[in-house]
């Protein structure tokens, strides 16, 4: 064995490399390792559609492979894709968005990095709902900014309120991030809540970053875009979830005109451009709405199944999810350690779920997240296994 492979590092690593792990990815890695050894694993840990990219997207990608050079695109993305995304805001929400304000990104992850870099100086704080997507706070830490967590609860449908914004605005806060539908809870800002949050940010001179990557995956009422209430909101979206294109790594931002060139300069230097093949596929995805709505109907059926079966399995404290494909369940009657609970469930019955500590470092030991983006047969089998496992305790 080459001894250089295990040689000590010549210097200590930079402090930013100590960023916390994205736990769901670790859970997925363990689940995949067990699956590779022949275990029958049901994946409810990661928010990944069980379906491939829609046919029209794949056909557009194949045509591009055959006929296009697939070199660098502009840092802001293909003009044709920016135009198509802008058109979608008029079709879906009745909101006019100029294509010049659309920035195509290498997934929504790159969109968050670009937005945070443009908006926040080192030491600035961004209000984040808790529970919430863990990478928000991890990215902020790497960039030298601060996450100011807003503890939300079931009584407010796990959403921040106008009062939260007003209460925390004086603590060196630069803005608020809100996600509707939310990950991990699946709840949405309804009843005028998003309008109230936009109004508060505008009045207090704060940025509003709206995570809308689960738009399209709503069941009882349509999700609203922050752009309907404030033209200066920064919207982050993605082709990963509704469009079923997680591995293609393509998303977008909608930003105020004054942010376009600063973000373009950042994108030029950090990413050069989003993947060309993925952008061509994304163009095709807009022609696949009928197929995508059929996939969504499967999620809706899975949601109904879990909300019916899980209470009988012993998971009784779940707020019905408005959108996305997650349920956030209170497991405190069984454990005070959701990480251990999730590990045992994977080991003993082959069902992979995510502990709540990934989403809420303070209260997440009481909760787990279950994704229902899988196939219906897998969801039914998961319910059977969970019911038998919990009743045996």
Residue 2: band (very low, low, confident or very high) from pLDDT cuts 50, 70, 90: low
> Domain of 336?
3-52+290-391
Instruction: Please give the Cα distance from 283 to 261 (Å, whole number).
Output: 23
Given a cut of 90, is residue 16 above it in pLDDT? no
How far is the CA of 256 from the CAs of 102, 178, 226, 230, 260, in angstroms?
9, 17, 12, 10, 7
Same domain? For 277 and 299 the reply is no
Judged by DSSP in three states, 210 sits in strand
Mean pLDDT of 83-104: 98
Instruction: Say if residue 157 is in the same domain as residue 258.
Output: yes
> Taking Cα atoms as reference points, which of 284, 223, 292, 290 lies closest to residue 84?
284
Q: The domain spanning residue 9 has which CATH number? A: 3.40.640.10
pTM above 0.85, yes or no: yes
Average pLDDT over residues 32-61: 96
The torsion region of residue 191 among left (phi > 0), alpha (psi -120 to 50) and beta comes to: left
pLDDT of 211-266, one tens digit each? Answer: 999 999 999 999 999 999 999 999 999 999 999 999 999 999 999 999 999 999 99
Alpha carbon distance 290, 307 (integer Å): 26
Domain total in the chain:
2
Q: How far apart are CA 212 and CA 111, in angstroms?
A: 12
Q: Is the pLDDT of residue 339 over 80?
A: yes
Q: Please check whether residues 174 and 222 belong to one and the same domain.
A: yes
Residue 147 and residue 112 in one domain: yes
Residues 40 and 94 in one domain: no
pLDDT value of position 86: 98
Domain end (from 258, 285, 312): 285
Distance CA(89)–CA(245), nearest Å, equals 20
Planar angle of CA 357, 247, 63, nearest 5 degrees:
165
Which of 255, 280, 277 lies closest to 265 in space, CA to CA?
A: 255
Residue found by looking up tokens 């997440």 in the block: 364
Average pLDDT over residues 338-364: 97
Q: 21 CB contacts (<8 Å, ≥6 apart)?
A: none
Same domain, 181 and 243: yes
Where would I find the H helices in 68-132?
79-93, 107-119
Is the same domain home to 8 and 27?
yes
Whether residue 295 is found in the same domain as residue 308: yes
CB 170 within 8 A of CB 195: no
Same domain, 138 and 248: yes
Instruction: Give the confidence band of 351 by pLDDT, cuts at 50, 70, 90.
Output: very high
Task: Say whether pLDDT at 18 is over 90.
Answer: no
Over residues 5-32, mean pLDDT:
90
Within this chain, do residues 186 and 296 fall inside the same structural domain, yes or no? no
Asked if residue 173 and residue 317 are part of one domain, the reply reads no
Confidence band of 1 (pLDDT split at 50, 70, 90): very low
pLDDT at residue 3 in the model:
53
Under 8 Å between Cβ of 73 and 56:
no
DSSP string, 21-64: P-HHHHHHHHHHHHHHTT---EE-SS---SS-S-HHHHHHHHHH
């Amino acid at each position: 064995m080459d001894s250089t492979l295990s040689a000590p590092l010549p210097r200590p690593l930079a402090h930013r490399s100590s960023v916390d792990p994205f736990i769901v990815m670790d859970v997925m890695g363990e689940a995949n390792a067990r699956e590779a050894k022949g275990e029958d694993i049901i994946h409810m840990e990661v928010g990944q559609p069980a379906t491939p990219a829609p046919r029209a997207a794949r056909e557009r990608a194949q045509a591009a492979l055959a006929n296009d050079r697939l070199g660098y695109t502009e840092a802001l993305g293909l003009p044709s894709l920016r135009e198509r995304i802008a058109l979608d805001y008029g079709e879906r929400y009745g909101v006019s968005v100029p294509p010049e304000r659309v920035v195509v990104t290498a997934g929504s992850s790159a969109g968050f990095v670009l937005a945070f870099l443009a908006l926040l100086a080192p030491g600035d704080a961004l209000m984040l709902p808790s529970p919430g997507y863990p990478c928000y706070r991890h990215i902020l830490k790497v960039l030298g900014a601060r996450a100011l967590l807003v503890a939300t609860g079931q009584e407010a449908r796990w959403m921040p309120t106008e009062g939260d914004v007003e209460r925390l605005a004086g603590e060196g806060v630069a803005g608020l991030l809100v996600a509707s539908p939310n990950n991990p809870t699946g709840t949405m800002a309804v009843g005028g809540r998003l309008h109230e949050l936009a109004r508060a940010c505008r009045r207090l001179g704060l940025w509003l970053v709206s995570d809308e990557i689960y738009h399209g995956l709503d069941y009882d009422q349509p999700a609203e875009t922050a752009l309907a209430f404030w033209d200066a909101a920064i919207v982050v979206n993605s082709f990963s979830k509704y469009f079923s294109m997680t591995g293609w790594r393509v998303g977008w931002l909608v930003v105020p005109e004054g942010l376009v060139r600063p973000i373009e300069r950042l994108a030029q230097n950090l990413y050069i451009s989003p993947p060309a093949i993925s952008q061509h596929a994304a163009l095709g995805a807009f022609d696949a709405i009928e197929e995508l709505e059929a996939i969504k109907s499967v999620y809706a059926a899975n949601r109904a199944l879990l909300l019916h079966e899980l209470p009988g399995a012993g998971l009784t404290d779940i707020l019905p999810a408005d959108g996305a494909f997650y349920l956030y369940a209170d497991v405190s009657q069984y454990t005070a350690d959701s990480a251990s609970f999730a590990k045992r469930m994977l080991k003993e019955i082959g069902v992979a779920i995510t502990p709540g500590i990934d989403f809420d470092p303070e209260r997440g030991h009481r909760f787990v997240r279950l994704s229902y983006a899988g196939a219906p047969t897998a969801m039914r089998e998961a319910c059977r296994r969970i019911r038998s496992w919990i009743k045996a305790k």
